[in-house]
Structure 1
Amino acid sequence: MSQHALATATRPGRPRVIPRLAGARAPRDEILHAAADLFVNRGFAATSTRDIAEKVGIRQASLYYHFAGKPGILAELLELSVRPSLEKVEKIERDCPADVPEAALYLLALIDAGTLATVPHNIGRLYRMPDVRSSEVFGEFEPALQELTAAYGRLGADIVSGPVAATVSVDQLGGLLVQAVEVVIRIRSRRVEVTPAQARAIAATCLRICGVPEARIARATGTADDLLLRFAEERPA
């Protein structure tokens, strides 16, 4: 987590300007959702903490109870766009059967596409925005993005065909695969929902970029489905 994130204090916050409805998100999550909406649609630099507090319906001082300021909020939102995928890389590499190596890349792409399809307010757009990319927070976040790109390149290099390997380096391959998955961001920018079928098609496209034959892609999808089920069963209650 970024150094900008502030741990929750033990003292009570100030009263809300607008009472929170029963069943509503926790205040911290409400702040993140409101900030995501404003950052994506208005811009990071153009959004103030007062804007965020007003959108949530709390006093500005209450926002500072949960976050030190805008940088901490941005850092957490950026993490949400990559961390779920990164946390699965080691498990994918460990559990993927050696005789179906294509399943590892397919599964990473599928999980990553699912993450980008479900994060609030299409926050994957944030790290393409100039005011975000020029921020100190992005500099702290960029290694995580590079780590994810490297994982794509590593898994792609394990299955790439000879002609593709002769054309692009491992680093370039990782970048190409990331770009293929990030089409989810562009789809959501048109206010269109990304369906599970589309996420699977995107994951299969990653294998095609590597030159994987269709028969191997079909086998990889079945293996990946089995691994996803196992992941779900192993999730703590």
Structure 2
Amino acid sequence: MSAPRRVGRPRAVATPPSGLTPREEVLAAAAELFTGQGYAATTTREVAERAGIRQASIYHYFKGKEEILASLLESTVRPSLEAARALMDAPAPAEARLWALCVRDVRLLCSGPHNLGVLYLLPEAERFARFQELRDALKDAYAGLLARTAVASTLTEDELALRARLIFSLVEGVILIRRDASALPVEQVAEATADAALRVGGVPDDDLPHLRELGRPLL
């Protein structure tokens, strides 16, 4: 006998089928409102109305507005961290793996209808320990790949740490670029950012075309 299925909460209004679960509808609505009118200015009632469910039904999926924000923040990091872990031991030069990670991370930050990366700028973001842990782990992954490149042996620990931090900041900089120019050519921005990241890491320009060719199959 199969286990009983958890029944979702009823909708407040009929909405066209989107293919999303009610929980995903809540996240999509919150993403639009948080990035559009601000986190502090958005109420759970507004999120519920935009999602087409009753306000009380939100609490079937989330404890409150802060947990919704936490979920959105984590969604901007977790896929890139998973990609980084897969790339760590991929059969390619570290430079190509670092290039591929940059491309995948930029794609994520530039994907979707809403620029969720701007939520990093909220003072509330600092309170979410799990998000900060994931982000720190991603920073460490960038540093780990950079440490495996050929140029790393020529750098001091402090120089290596600084370059890793610069690369990570460069990638996250696309959040501000997207804020100022919403219609970005994502693939072009992703590859240009990855190229710039390798240059910051000390990779010669002459090596970039070959590393791009090695990096693209890793995407």
Match of 2:201 in 1: 210
Is 1:68 paired with 2:63?
A: yes
**In the aligned structure 1, how far is the partner of 2:91 from the partner of 2:203?**
17
Match of 2:16 in 1: 21
| Identity in percent | 36
Listed as ranges, the gaps of 5+ residues in structure 1 are 1-8, 229-237
Could you tell me which amino acid in structure 1 is paired with residue 179 of structure 2? Answer: S
Contact 1:17 1:59 in 2 (8 A): yes
Is 1:93 paired with 2:83?
A: no
User: For the structure 1 residues 50 and 145, does the alpha-carbon distance in structure 2 shift closer, same or farther, using more than 3 Å as the test?
Assistant: same
Match of 1:150 in 2: 140
Contact 2:31 2:72 in 1 (8 A): yes
Contact 2:85 2:141 in 1 (8 A): no
**In the aligned structure 1, how far is the partner of 2:86 from the partner of 2:130?**
25
CA deviations on 1:171-190 (whole Å, 9 max, x unpaired) are: 32222111111122112102
CA deviations on 1:143-182 (whole Å, 9 max, x unpaired) are: 1111111111121222263798359433322221111111
Aligned length in residues: 214
Determine which of 171, 178, 184 is the counterpart of 1:193.
184
Match of 2:216 in 1: 225
Alpha-carbon deviation of 1:120?
A: 4.5
Is 1:132 paired with 2:128?
A: no
CA deviations on 1:123-146 (whole Å, 9 max, x unpaired) are: 11112212333x3xx223101111
Could you tell me which amino acid in structure 1 is paired with residue 98 of structure 2? Answer: L
Alignment of 1:169-184 (within 5 A): 169-184=159-174
**In the aligned structure 1, how far is the partner of 2:85 from the partner of 2:17?**
39
Determine which of 51, 57, 60 is the counterpart of 2:52.
57
Give the TM-score taking structure 2 as reference length.
Answer: 0.88
Is 1:37 paired with 2:27?
A: no
SS, match of residue 59 in structure 2: helix
- CA RMSD for the aligned pairs? 2.2
**In the aligned structure 2, how far is the partner of 1:43 from the partner of 1:23?**
24
Could you tell me which amino acid in structure 1 is paired with residue 167 of structure 2? Answer: L
Give the TM-score taking structure 1 as reference length.
Answer: 0.82
Listed as ranges, the gaps of 5+ residues in structure 2 are none
CA deviations on 1:94-133 (whole Å, 9 max, x unpaired) are: 1132xx3210110110110011010441111112212333
